[in-house]
Each structure stands twice: as structure tokens, then as C-alpha cells.
């Protein structure tokens, strides 16, 4: 291969046997730009997947301790999903109680994923900490699922409800900071 004076790449596989030149019209600037964009895109996707699998509240790749994310929003109740109705989205597995819920999730998964990676919304708002949740303690606000810690006589949902607007704003900021660390 040789580079011509106009930035055209010439490929001459048998240059010592045949004087024929094959021209491949490749503009080197465009090729460099495409390679750079491809590299950045792939790198970004890997860092997002890494954050999802290490930054989200999952156990053995399973989210919400096996509860159906669609049921929270469509039925306003916590329903245990079935292992044979599983779906993995961007490295995280969700279980569903019905085939209909599974198909609904597949159409637009981001609508049904819990806020703050499935960590306790109250703790995310107060301190930005990733704290375990009780999947039966939840709240749906404007179609978004918020999960809460509820163990040892400490139900954080009740405290969240007293100052929800303020805590939600802080939780959004704290979660964004966590996500940005992986970019």
C-alpha cells in the first residue's frame, strides 16, 4: 500500500510482479474521524454497561430481588416475577409475573427500570449512599418507580413522604454524580 499525493490509498498486492495500480478512494481525514467516533462510541457503551453491572442494585445480575418492574407501575403493587419469564436488558436481568408484562417491558425498558439503579431513594437523597431496599416498600410517582429501605423498624418511605420534593431533587443530583464518575 502507498499513499498518493492526493490522499488516495493505493493498494498494490503484487507490485513486484504487476505494475497495475488499484485505487481505493479513501480520504484519510474522514477515515481518522470515523475511527475516532467509533472508538469513543464503543468506549462509552462499555463504561455505561460497566456502571450498570457494578453501580446498580443487583444480586447475581438480578434486579429488584426478582420482582416484576412492570407490575409496580401498572398494578401499583409488588409482584414476585418468575424465573422462566426473565429478560436481560443491558446486562441486568428482570423477572416478570406474566408474559404480557415481559412484552410491555421489552417495548421500552427504561420506563420501568427503578430510579437510582434500584437503590433506596431516601438514602440517595440524604447522603448519596447506595443502600439496600425492601422490594415491597415502594412508591410510583409520575410513572417512575422509587424503592426504599424498610428493615429493623426503619421504613424510609415514611420519612421520604415528609420531604419528597427536596429529597427527590437531591437524589437526582447524587445519582447523576455517581453516573458521571463512570463516564
pTM given for the model: 0.74
User: Average pLDDT of 101-105?
Assistant: 98
CA–CA distances in Å: residue 66 to residues 62, 122, 153, 171: 6, 21, 23, 24
The string of pLDDT tens digits covering residues 114-125 is 999 999 999 999
Band (177; pLDDT cuts 50, 70, 90):
very high
Spatial distance between the Cα atoms of 36 and 45, rounded to a whole number of angstroms: 14
CA–CA distances in Å: residue 64 to residues 16, 69, 70, 90: 66, 8, 11, 15
User: Average pLDDT of 3-13?
Assistant: 50
Question: What is the pLDDT of the chain when averaged over all its residues?
Answer: 83
Residue 26 pLDDT > 80: no
> Lowest-confidence range among 19-23, 81-85, 162-166?
19-23
User: Given this model, what pLDDT does residue 52 score?
Assistant: 75
Residue 107 CB-half CA count within 13 A: 7
Amino acid at each position: 500500500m502507498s499513499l498518493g499525493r492526493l490522499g488516495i490509498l493505493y493498494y498494490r498486492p503484487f507490485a513486484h510482479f504487476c505494475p497495475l495500480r488499484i485505487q481505493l478512494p479513501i480520504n484519510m481525514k474522514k477515515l481518522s474521524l470515523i475511527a475516532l467516533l467509533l472508538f469513543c462510541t464503543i468506549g462509552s457503551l462499555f463504561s455505561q454497561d460497566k456502571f450498570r453491572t457494578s453501580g446498580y442494585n443487583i444480586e447475581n445480575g438480578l434486579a429488584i430481588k426478582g420482582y416484576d418492574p412492570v407490575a409496580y407501575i401498572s398494578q401499583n403493587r409488588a409482584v414476585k416475577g418468575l424465573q422462566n419469564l426473565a429478560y436481560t436488558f443491558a446486562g441486568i436481568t428482570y423477572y416478570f409475573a406474566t408474559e404480557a408484562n415481559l412484552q410491555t417491558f421489552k417495548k421500552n425498558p427504561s420506563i420501568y427500570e427503578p430510579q437510582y439503579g434500584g437503590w433506596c431513594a431516601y438514602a440517595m437523597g440524604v447522603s448519596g449512599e447506595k443502600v439496600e431496599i425492601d422490594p415491597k416498600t415502594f412508591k410510583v410517582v409520575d410513572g417512575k418507580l422509587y424503592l426504599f429501605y424498610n428493615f429493623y423498624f426503619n421504613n424510609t418511605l415514611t420519612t421520604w413522604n415528609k420531604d419528597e420534593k427536596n429529597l427527590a431533587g437531591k437524589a437526582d443530583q447524587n445519582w447523576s454524580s455517581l453516573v458521571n464518575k463512570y463516564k
